Structure 1
Amino acid sequence: MPAIVAVRGSADLNLLGKAVPGAAVHEIHTLEEADPEQARTADVLVLRSGVRLGAAQLPDWPALRHVIRAGSGLDGIDTSALAARGIALHRNTGPAAYAVAEWALVALLSLARRIPYGQAALAAGEHAKTACLTEPVSRMRLAIWGAGPVGRACGRLLRPHVRELAYAARPSVPAHLPQRPADTLPAWADSHLVALPLGPQTMRLFGGGFLSAARHRSPLLICVGRLGTLDLPACLEALACGDLSGLALDPIDQDDLALLPTGGPPLNLLATPHIGAQRTDVRSALDAWVASTAHRVLTPTGSQAR
């Protein structure tokens, strides 16, 4: 009997059970809290964002043959370790992209109109109307860092609202997209949207060097990728002193709460608990895809049957 283990929030257990009749389907909170017997016998592991799976964890999952990532991000997943064990990785990059782009548009408009600042000032007992006088978004230049599914969706949705848009030039950026050399963007753009994966080259990329180069434009900075691509303390300091005019952060997970400022003067800061893809249609599409993928890899009629 095949066994499927899903981290809470990564799958609809009822759909999984219907897709693979006879399978043992288990839900866990974290890999660390998994029942040892369930881990030992699992054929399929379904993950959401924020889960670490690599060489340190894999010995606890000796029967594992498939990892299904309900989304696109690979942060925390050691793909080399999976490949060395012959474990197939399945992920779906499509359904969430436009939902995240929708969040990015809300963030751009909110920061540009200084709505988070106005709200924070009111909560502190201040009426800061005059501090919320701004230039229109239609006069802004927008730089997008990252041209994966999310970055491209953001470009398509935000382009009609801004004056100019350019992607940070990289070999992987499709040739038809408008591009500028990355080192010229801090001096060019009024707003920056970060849609990069987290890796050695992108870790804290938006820190002291970027902030210094962009300071004279006092730009908006919007992160829809991974929080680790920002040097968050440096960005918050830049926001407080005016070197950034606005900061929007969606990928806030439970462990990141301590990084956010409490008290102090009002800031033009929008922070949300990783809700970019939290739409019912996206959730339904991903749940259906996870179930169909489990069916495909575990049933005799699937292309990778047991």
Structure 2
Amino acid sequence: MPETIQTIVALGPVEPALVEPLLSAKHRFVAEPDEEDLASADAAIVRAAYRVDPSVLDRMPRLKVLARTGVGTDLVDVADAKRRGIPVVITPGSNTRSVAEGVFTHLLALVKRLGELTAVVRDGRWEDRREVRVGDLDGFTLGIIGYGRIGRRVEHLARAFDLRVLAYDPFADVPTEIRRDTVEQVLKESDFITLHLPLTEETQGMFDAGRLASMRRGSILVNCSRGGLVDLDAALAALESGQLGGVGLDVFDPEPPAHHPLFDHPGVTLSPHLMGFTQQSMANTVKDAVLGALAVLDGNPPAAVAGS
């Protein structure tokens, strides 16, 4: 008796070249499914921008698993999927290394004043280079606010720069030698701060004027986590007063953001929420989603499920 073919569909753009090497002869992958494909789908690989609501699930009556690329499920009706017995697989960790490298991209650009030095050369102002105060990482202190997967990876990379590392996280297991019990303790002792927190009612606007004032004067703040953590008006005021020596932002609230005067300050580096969306990390997250879907289809537990 021939083996039943299991259909895996893409909801959103998914490159077949990333999926097909992971499949066996009993699987069929459809990158651009029509209604018939959806009706026969056993699994779906869901991209971040694709909304999965009850009407979409109604079109896939045979569905056994949704595999979301990434960890955000705000566009997926997880509760309705759960009611139907459909687990929503997520892929934490697939972009951990990319985001951590993004932190150092911003940090190095700010410490080494790369934007200002580029302008000096581009504008033919060679003699002005002496007026740009270039710094170092070696021997200074990096404070990590949030010690999850990305925070731990940032610490690992920091060691290569001979940075002293401190960390605060009320929930994670932070090694005793780097742990501080409050955010303020980390800010007081650090020259550079990197944020790795979820956005909640408690953390919304967490880095406001008061908290920025508690940082070391001239310190640098990098946010590759959630845009709502930082009050941009307060950050601009802190830059203009010299309380902050630089700000690096990869995330904004909302996205895309309206133009803010902070964006024009020479002590600011900006990227459009792409530090975690490198070619390699995108390939990793699709592969992890596929492996999670296959685990469910084979009757095995996936690595991570939303809402569990």
Q: How far apart in 2 are the matches of 1:122 and 1:253? A: 34
Deviations 1:34-92 (A, max 9, x none): x9998888664534456676xxx445433465332323455666756654554412222
Cα distance, 1:251 vs. partner?
3.0
**Which residue of structure 1 lines up, in the alignment, with residue 11 of structure 2?**
6
**Which residue of structure 2 lines up, in the alignment, with residue 225 of structure 1?**
225
Contact 1:99 1:282 in 2 (8 A): yes
**Which residue of structure 1 lines up, in the alignment, with residue 300 of structure 2?**
303
Matches within 5 A, 1:1-306: 2=7, 4-8=9-13, 11-16=14-19, 19=23, 21-22=27-28, 24-26=30-32, 44-49=43-48, 57-58=53-54, 60-62=56-58, 63=60, 65-73=64-72, 83=82, 86-119=85-118, 129-175=129-175, 178-180=178-180, 181-214=182-215, 216-251=216-251, 255-261=255-261, 266-298=265-297, 301-303=298-300
TM-score, length of structure 2 as denominator length:
0.75
Distance 1:227 1:184, change over 3 A: same
Cα distance, 1:221 vs. partner?
0.6
Distance 1:4 1:240, change over 3 A: farther
**Largest Rg, 1 or 2:** 2
Identity %: 23
Partner SS state of residue 295, structure 2:
helix
The range that moved more, 238-247 or 11-20, is 11-20
Counterpart code for 2:300: S
Counterpart code for 1:213: S
Contact 2:140 2:191 in 1 (8 A): yes
In structure 2, stretches of 5+ residues that fail to align are: 1-5, 302-308
Partner SS state of residue 204, structure 2:
coil
Distance 1:186 1:303, change over 3 A: closer
**Which residue of structure 1 lines up, in the alignment, with residue 306 of structure 2?**
none
Cα distance, 1:260 vs. partner?
4.4
Counterpart code for 2:65: H
Q: How far apart in 1 are the matches of 2:299 and 2:136? A: 53
Contact 2:227 2:253 in 1 (8 A): no
Contact 1:218 1:245 in 2 (8 A): yes
Contact 2:8 2:27 in 1 (8 A): no
Partner SS state of residue 147, structure 1:
coil
Distance 1:45 1:122, change over 3 A: farther
Distance 1:288 1:163, change over 3 A: closer
Contact 2:66 2:87 in 1 (8 A): yes
Contact 2:232 2:262 in 1 (8 A): no
Deviations 1:251-272 (A, max 9, x none): 36993242444885x4211111
Partner SS state of residue 185, structure 1:
helix
The range that moved more, 98-107 or 148-157, is 98-107
Counterpart code for 2:11: A
Q: How far apart in 1 are the matches of 2:184 and 2:263? A: 35
Cα distance, 1:194 vs. partner?
0.6
Contact 1:39 1:60 in 2 (8 A): no
Cα distance, 1:150 vs. partner?
0.9
TM-score, length of structure 1 as denominator length:
0.75
Distance 1:142 1:272, change over 3 A: same
Contact 1:141 1:162 in 2 (8 A): no
Partner SS state of residue 246, structure 1:
strand
Contact 2:144 2:166 in 1 (8 A): yes
Distance 1:167 1:73, change over 3 A: farther
Q: How many residues align?
A: 288
Q: How far apart in 1 are the matches of 2:178 and 2:51? A: 35
